[in-house]
Amino acid sequence: MIKNKNFRIQSIASHLRAQSGVIPTDYSGHSSSSYAQTKLRFREPHTRNMVSRLAARSSNARLTRALGFTLVELLVAIAIFAVLSLLGWKIFDYLLKVRDRNAEHEVHLFELQDAYQQILRDSLQIIPLSANQGGQLHPALEIDNQILRFSKAGVTDPLKQGLSPFERIEYRYDADQKKLYRLKYTNLNTSNNEQPLSSTLLSQVDQYQIMVLTPQEVTKWPEVNIDQTKPNELKKLPKGIKIQLTVAGVSYEWIYSLNQSNLSLSPQGGS
């Protein structure tokens, strides 16, 4: 009875497979065959070489990315370094120029201060004494053609060399050399052949003008022709001196007072 039922079931299944066109497949056999074919292919030399090359390329690419830089990365790094180097050089060059300008400014400032102090010392020691140069009498102070001449005291003689206690000073401007000179005669009575001691008071002087204050500004002193037979006319001094000058493009104005109440003919005093 049971056998009959199994036979009927198998008959029905066979009939259904026949109608649907499904052919039974042995998958176990097919899988074994595919694996065997794949295994045979990998055993071929050409296939093994290709797989080895692909593996080597992949390994080299990973190693390059891990250990080095690409050409583009190197070019970008070089460009950044060049820009930073250029900026650093610009800053360094600017600092050098600033240092040079400051050093030059310090030199000019020191020269200006020294010139101002020298004129101040001279103005404080101006005395009302006429000078005899080449047999001709000159006023104690005179300005002519922007040349200032005056008699001054304050000369010391510590070594007892017989130096005169008075001397004649002259300020002369050379427009060609743009320099202001200080000339010194060691005696009020000199000959025309005597050469003064010359020193440069200021350099890079673009413009120079000197005048006396009476208290009005006067560019010539004495104002009128004086009578040399009257000694007091030669001893007259103005109220002050005014100097206008332009040094290295900067204008200055110096005013010095001639405090005649403190003037002394004594040889004692500053140098």
pLDDT over 90 percentage in the chain:
42
pLDDT of residue 42: 47
DSSP assignment letter at 145: T
**Which two structure tokens, joined as six digits, stand for 47?**
């296939």
Could you give the CA distance from residue 80 to residue 164 in angstroms, rounded to a whole number?
A: 75
pLDDT in tens, 210-235: 999 988 999 999 877 777 677 788 88
| Residue keyed to tokens 């000073």 | 169
Decide if 210 contacts 171 (C-beta within 8 A). Answer: yes
> Residue 147 CA to chain centroid, in angstroms?
38
Output the CA torsion sign for 66, 69, 71, 72.
positive
The per-residue pLDDT for 108 is 85
Between 156 and 51, whose confidence is greater?
156
Question: Measuring CA to CA, how many Å separate 191 from each of 116, 135, 151, 181, 186?
Answer: 30, 7, 16, 21, 12
C-alpha–C-alpha distance, residues 233 and 214, integer Å: 15
| Assigned token pair, 146 | 């922007």
| Averaged confidence pLDDT in the chain | 79
Average pLDDT over residues 29-38: 49
- Distances in Å between the Cα of 199 and the Cα atoms of 127, 172, 184, 225 are 22, 11, 9, 31
pLDDT band, residue 261 (cuts 50/70/90): very low
Question: What's the one-letter identity of residue 46?
Answer: H
CB contact at 8 A, 141 and 149? yes
For the segment 107-151, what is each residue's pLDDT rounded down to a tens digit? 888 999 999 999 999 999 999 999 988 888 899 999 988 899 999
Count of Cβ atoms closer than 10 Å to residue 143 Cβ: 21
Q: Which residue has the higher pLDDT, 119 or 2?
A: 119
Whether CATH 3.40.50.150 fits 117-262: no
CA neighbor of 128 nearest in space, from 258, 212, 235, 223: 235
pLDDT for position 163: 85
pLDDT tens for residues 152-199? 998 888 888 888 899 999 999 999 999 999 999 998 988 888 899 999
